[in-house]
Structure 1
Amino acid sequence: MSLAILLSALLAGCASHDAGSHPMLPRTAAKTAANNDKKPAFQTAFYVGSHGWHTSIIVPRSAVPKGAWPAGVVDRTFADRRFIEAGWGDRTFYMAARPNVATAFDAVFLPGASVLHIVGLDPPIESAFAWTGLVRMPCSPAELRNVCDAIGATFASDSHHKIQELGPGLYGRVSRFYPADGRYYFANTCNNWTARMMRAGGFAADAGPAGTWSAGAVMAQARRLARARTATFNPRGGTAP
C-alpha cells in the first residue's frame, strides 16, 4: 500500500466534503434516512451524516439553546437556515485549498489544532447533499439539547473569551469555519467526535477505535442504534415493554 493511500485511509475522520457538491443542489435521498423516517420516532431527532470518509452531526437550528453556541452563529450567520450541520477535523487539512500528502501526514501523526465546519441547510435534509449515508436519530427534546450543548462546547474561544470565524467554509456563504477544542490525530478523528455527540444524545455509541476506525463503522453504529430505539418505541404509549 502506498503512503498516499495509507494516509488517505487514516484521514477517514477529517476528509472534507466534495466542494463540487453544493448543499443547495437537489440530490438523491439517502436510503437509510428514508427507511428510518417510515418508523415510529420520538418527539424529535438529530441526524448523523457521512460524506464518504467524513462524518457529521445535523441538528434543527431552532433546537440550539440560547447561549449554547457562539453569539451570532445561530441568530445571524445561519438565521435563514432550518438545519445546521457540524463537522470536526484537523484545521490545516480541512481548510486547505488543495490538501496533499504532506498535510495529510501532519494531520495523522502530529496532533494539531482542530476546526468546526458549520453549514446551514434547508429541508429536505435527505437531498441537501449527495450523502453516502444519513441516519435519523430519534430522541427526546432533552437529548437533542444535550447534543446541541455538546457541539457548542466544541467551539474554542480566544484569549479574550471570544470566538472568531476563521473564514468561509467549503460552500461559501452557507458555511463557516470556527476554531475548535481538541487535538486531531489518528486516535482522535472526526469519527470519534461524531460518536461522542451521539453519546450526548443518549445513544450508547462506541467512541473508541473499534467503533470509529472508519466513517462506515460510525454509520453502522448509528443505523443499529436508531433501529434499536425505534423498534422499542410504541407511539401510543411511549416505550414498549
Structure 2
Amino acid sequence: MSMLNAVRITPYSTIGKAVGRFIVRALIIALALIALYLGLALAGSLLPANNGWIEPRQGVQIFVYSNGTHTGIVVPTVNDVQDWRAVVKPEHLSDPRYGKSDHLLFGWGERNFYLMTPTWSDVRISVAAKSLFFSRRTLLHLDYIHSPVPGPNMRPVTISKAQYVRLVQQIEGFFRRDEKGNTLPVKGYGPADKFYESNGHYNVMQTCNNWTGAQLRSIGVRVGIWTPFSQSVMWWFANPSGRVRQ
C-alpha cells in the first residue's frame, strides 16, 4: 500500500511544485515590471523637457492644479485669445449659475474610471485595471472655479500669449464633436462640473497626469519628460518665487 500511495501522490506533488514555481516566477516578473515602471517614472519626472524655458513676467496666467492624485490645468474662462463659453456652454451645467465662474479647470482621463468612481471609496480594482490596460474611451473633466487662490495644490504659471494660443488649440483638439461641430457633454458629479466626450487613449503610460504634463511640454514649459503621477507634475511648480523669469 505504501508503494501504491507513493505512485499516486508523486504526480500531484510534482504538479503542485510546478504551480508553485510558476506563481513565484509570475510574482517576480510582476514585481520587476512594477519596479521598472516606478524607475522610469522617477527618471521621467526628474529629467526636464524644455530645460531652457524662462517664465515671462507678463503674459497669460494659468494654474497647474492637483487634488493629490489627479492634475489639471486652470485657464481663464474669457480673455482676448479664447472665450471658452462657446465650447463649454454654461447651459450644459445642471446649475448654469456656476457658468459665471472666471476660470475653468481641465482634466482628462479614462471614461469608465471617471464615471464609476466619484469618490476614492468607490474605486474597484477591476475598473482601475481595465482603465490602465483595456481603455477604449476617454473624457475631459471640466470644473468651474471662481478666483483661484495660489497654494500648494494651485500653482500659478505665466505663459506667453503665443503659448496660450497653442494650449487652447491643444485642449480644443481633445473634444469629440458631433456632425455639427458641437461638443458632447456628459453628466458631471455636481452642479459646478461637467464631463465631455474626448479623443485619445488612456493607458498605463498615458495617464491623466501625463496628459497635464504633455500639454505643458508641448507649448514649451519646463516640466518632466514623462509625468505619470501627480507629484511628477507638481514639484516642477512647487516654488514659484524660485523659477527663472525674464
* TMscore range, shorter length: 0.5 to 0.7
Unaligned runs of 5+ in 2: 1-26, 39-54, 93-97
Give the aligned partner of residue 186 of structure 1. Answer: 204
The Cα RMSD (Å) is 3.2
Equivalent residue for 1:49, pick from 65, 86, 97: 65
Deviation at 1:150, TM superposition (A): 1.3
Give the aligned partner of residue 174 of structure 2. Answer: 154
Equivalent residue for 2:143, pick from 119, 127, 150: 119
Counterpart code for 1:232: R
Equivalent residue for 2:101, pick from 78, 81, 84: 81
For 2:206 and 2:87, the matched residues in 1 are separated by: 29
For 2:167 and 2:244, the matched residues in 1 are separated by: 22
- Secondary structure of 2:233's match? helix
Deviation at 1:221, TM superposition (A): 2.6
For 1:160 and 1:40, the matched residues in 2 are separated by: 38
1:221 is aligned to 2:245? no
Residue pair 1:51, 1:132 contacting (<8 A) in 2 also: no
Deviation at 1:194, TM superposition (A): 0.3
Between stretches 133-142 and 70-79, larger displacement belongs to 70-79
- Change in Cα spacing, 1:75 to 1:213, as seen in structure 2 (3 Å) is closer
| Greater C-alpha radius of gyration | 2
Give the aligned partner of residue 103 of structure 1. Answer: 127
Question: How many residues matched?
Answer: 188
Residue pair 2:224, 2:232 contacting (<8 A) in 1 also: no
1:113-134 CA-partner distances (Å, limit 9, x unpaired) = 11011011101434xxxx7522
1:58 is aligned to 2:71? no
Counterpart code for 1:108: L
TM-score (norm. length: structure 2): 0.65
Identity of aligned residues (%): 24
- Change in Cα spacing, 1:91 to 1:70, as seen in structure 2 (3 Å) is farther
Higher-helix-fraction structure: 2
TM-score (norm. length: structure 1): 0.66
For 1:142 and 1:108, the matched residues in 2 are separated by: 34
Unaligned runs of 5+ in 1: 11-38, 234-241
Counterpart code for 2:62: F
Give the aligned partner of residue 239 of structure 1. Answer: none
Deviation at 1:99, TM superposition (A): 3.2
